[in-house]
A and B are shown apart, each in its own frame.
Chain A
């Protein structure tokens, strides 16, 4: 089945700096890659997603890049702000794969230092 590795598990950056979270996956059939943000005590919320036929997608300060050949995708946050502090999860969707096709990484705790 699909295996999603997410790094780092904890990331601390200075306010205003950039943050990058990386995920690798094993199933070449995966074709959809969403990112979720979960603030403390709250539900995960979709912040950005990318399909397999696109290499990069940007939404204001957030961007996601996908390298299908290397089977990895990354979340980039620029000009970080205190409200960016949260746990971020990557996920993959693989048609016909195990369970329901969705596999999550274990999460990255992003800490924005003032």
Chain B
């Protein structure tokens, strides 16, 4: 939907397990982002990538890891080191990470529940 596909929509994991969230885009966008959304917290940036094989930590990167081996794909791994992993995760992309008027396009999100 909108060129960005996140899967799965709902994900359940046991505490202590790593889990990987998928994000694929066919918009030919250079920049990709992962945000975490909690009630009342807005959108908090986890990691972003402005180009293949390069990525940067956002505001809340601890306990997460990413890779950007292909332009179309930016998977996020939630590791067992993340203390409060239960949240709604949104992937997004932009045509360019540096073009000021390049709006973000979001995927439909993955709701992760860890028990």
Contacts and interface: CB of A to CB of B under 8 A. Distances in A.
B107 A102 contact: no
B72 to A, nearest CB: 18
Contacts, number: 62
Given A100-B33, A106-B40, A49 B103 contact: yes
Interface of B: 1-2, 31, 33, 40-43, 45, 48, 50, 56, 58-59, 90, 97-98, 100-101, 103-109
B103 A100 contact: no
B40 A104 contact: no
Given A44-B106, A100-B33, A100-B45, A95 B100 contact: yes
12 contacts: A31-B100, A34-B104, A43-B2, A43-B107, A46-B103, A51-B100, A99-B45, A100-B31, A101-B98, A102-B104, A106-B41, A107-B40
A99 B97 CA distance: 10
A25 interface: no
Given A43-B108, A100-B33, A32 B100 contact: yes
Given A32-B100, A43-B2, A43-B107, A99 B58 contact: yes
Main secondary structure on chain A at its contact with chain B?
strand
Nearest to A49: B103
Contact of A51 (B40, B41, B101): B101
Contacts of A36: 104
The 8 closest A-B pairs by CB, nearest first: A106-B42, A43-B106, A32-B100, A104-B43, A46-B103, A100-B48, A107-B42, A93-B100
Contact of A89 (B42, B48, B97): B42
B106 A45 contact: yes
B17 to A, nearest CB: 25
A45 B105 CA distance: 7
Interface in A41-61: 42-46, 49, 51
